[in-house]
Structure 1
Amino acid sequence: MSDQANHPADTPLYPIREVSRLTGVNAVTLRAWERRYGLIQPKRTPKGHRLYAKEDIARVERILQWLNRGVPVSQVRELLEQPETVESPPPAAGDWESQRRQLIAAVEALDLGRLEALFNQSMALYPVTTCIDELWQPVIRELEEHWDDRLGAGLQRRTLEAFLRTRIGIRLYHANLQAGGPTLLILPMPDDDGPLWGLLAALAASDRGYRVQWLDAPLPLSELPLAVERFQADALLLTSGRAEKTDLVRRQLPRLAEQLEVPLTLCGPVARIREGDLAGSGVEVLGDDLPGAMTRLQSLTQAA
């Protein structure tokens, strides 16, 4: 079937960047769905640029519905061809659980080849939000629960940090070149064991269209207003997998929030642990669920 037959001449067409913004699916994933699985068939300009009709965008939304229910991407095309009235099958039992077990095993074995394969597979086949919610966030939570009392935990942690720093850093670099959203400055808090939560937050924010400036080590609180000014940040996001010191949370962070002209926000396990301490403080507690945290952050930066 020709592209012209799929998209009549009077049908509005959208470039891939706009489709990504509307659906939350990044351009790399959209191209993978087209090339590898034939899930969508956009029109092409004479120069080869993809253009999507409203029907294509609706199809992307249907793909997301299946993926979010746990259906492997390889099975989605067959389901899309079924009539809308066909009852949806149950999620593929154990699919995400199996991927989590494989990922944890790769980290514990320091198997970088397997780690690379699992990372590339998840990012190519599923939306970033789904990967974070179903795979990376639960895995990091589980690993952190055991690392404190396990031999070789430090080596596992630093290996995973180095791996994600490189892979996510590359994605941030390319995404920032095209990002048109607000600028978000992300830093870890002083007691955090490492940049894992900051890396995931940076990935989630970039997927939402933010231009992300991510620093992998804490700064003195006195330097944060200058950092916000120099990076021209529209919001400051602090992350931590720890509870952090009580004085920092109850006194220093609220004081910093008063000094800043942009929202001071908090996410990661620290946000769940310290939510009660920061009620009414001026610090915006976004929670430890990163996709949900990004939704709350968007409401703050849009209002600003």
Structure 2
Amino acid sequence: MFRVTDRAAVEQVTRTAGQVARLLGVAESTLRAWHRRYGLGPAPARPGGYRRYADHDLARLQRMRDLVRGGVLPSDAARVVVGEPDHLDPSQSLPALLAAVRDLDGGRCLALLERVLAGSGVVAAWERLCRPAFAAVEADQSADAARGAAGGCVAGEHVLSWATSTALRRRTAEGSAHRGPAVLLACTDGEQHTLPVEALGAALVERGVPVRLLGPAVPAESLARAIDTTRPEAVVLWSQRRESARTGPPHHPALLLAGPGWTTADGAAPLSSLTHALERLT
């Protein structure tokens, strides 16, 4: 398995201006202008070093970009961003996220999720914000069904799913370009629930572990071919429902089953949580 040897280095991930510009989809000259005019830049460089952007710097720049793209003047957007706290508590952000979901405002959801992810990390954001948000949406759906109005909250669930997936995949992208051995993440054939796998991928990348994410409903033959092609360090196979765990898992010496669809009868005890998965893989 992968072993993270320098926790401090992993926790303090930094990026060059070019990397940040690519992540944000803006020109490096735009970053320099925002830094020069509004003070939205990285911390001062150490002697003999280059300025590098930390996660909290990236979160502020993402917020700046989203406001400008939404039509706010850069000078006004900068005043908003500079006046906002760098860190958002995941649990305290839940009411704001649910308000955005009920307004069907995917952009607001995404901006909030990205700020929480950058400030608190994947595990805290997933356990204390994302999962409670989905539980609240499911509770609204149950209440609607009890009133005979089933389906009224489906659009909100889709907005939340899109924003969560987008935010997690953006954080996974940096580790997916790795060409060496990686952790291969996939869902069983017929399984469409990918968010827990995406959360695991983002959390692994955050810890310096490269990943390859295959996504939903991967046929057994395709998964076997992917294992043969990429020769992963480990394979995580997710099943949300028992029906999607009917196909026997592929052979791999470091295969880990994850999700409530699996039982101990399928092999080793399935991974029980995101934290459990990270303990096994890092």
Pairwise CA distance, 1:228 = 1.2
Letter paired with 1:154:
V
Match of 1:220 in 2: 219
Give the counterpart letter for 2:134 in structure 1.
I
| Distance in 1, Cα, partners of 2:202 & 2:270 | 19
RMSD: 3.9
Asked if the contact 2:185/2:201 (under 8 Å) is kept, the reply is yes
Contact kept in structure 2, 1:96 and 1:134, CA below 8 Å: yes
- 2:169 alignment counterpart: 169
Residue 153 of structure 1, CA deviation: 3.9
Is contact 2:200–2:274 with CA below 8 Å preserved after alignment?
yes
Which of 264, 289, 292 pairs up with 2:255? 264
Aligned in 2, Cα 1:165/1:130: closer, same or farther, shift over 3 Å? closer
Whole-angstrom CA distance in 2 between matches of 1:229 and 1:204: 25
Higher relative contact order (CA 8 A, sep 6+): 2
Q: Secondary structure at the match of 1:137?
A: helix
Q: Superposition pairs for residues 134-153 of structure 1, below 5 Å?
A: 134-144=128-138, 147=141, 149=145, 150-153=150-153
Give the 5 Å matches for 1:285-304: 285-287=270-272, 289-298=273-282
Q: Which runs of 5+ in 1 are unaligned?
A: 1-16, 51-72, 77-91, 299-304
Q: Which residue of 2 aligns with 1:238?
A: 237
Q: Which amino acid aligns with 2:207?
A: R
Q: Distance in 2 between matches of 1:143 and 1:220?
A: 30
- Please, what TM-score do these two structures have when normalized by structure 2? 0.62
TM-score by length of structure 1 reads 0.58
Shift of the 204–138 alpha-carbon distance from structure 1 to 2, 3 Å rule, reads farther
- Report if the CA contact (8 A) 2:86-2:119 is conserved: no
Do the aligned partners of 2:102 and 2:156 also contact (CA within 8 Å) in 1? yes
Distance in 2 of aligned mates of 1:135 and 1:108: 16
What SS does the corresponding residue of 1:215 show, helix, strand or coil?
A: strand
Q: Displacement, 1:181?
A: 8.0
Change (3 A) 1:152 1:247: same
2:46 maps to what in 1?
43
Question: Does 2:277 correspond to 1:278?
Answer: no
Instruction: Judge conservation of contact 2:94–2:133 (CA < 8 Å) in 1.
Output: yes
Match of 1:121 in 2: 115
Identity of matched residues, %: 20
**1:24 paired residue number:** 11
Deviation track 1:9-41 (CA, whole Å, cap 9, x = no partner) reads xxxxxxxx996664534336xx9xxx9899x87
Q: Secondary structure at the match of 1:43?
A: coil
Cα contact 1:187–1:239 (8 A) shared by 2: yes
Q: Which runs of 5+ in 2 are unaligned?
A: 21-38, 54-83
Alignment CA distance shift 1:226-1:209 (3 Å):
same
With over 3 angstroms needed to count, the CA separation of the structure-2 counterparts of 1:211 and 1:106, relative to structure 1, is same
Distance 1:47 1:26 in 2: 14
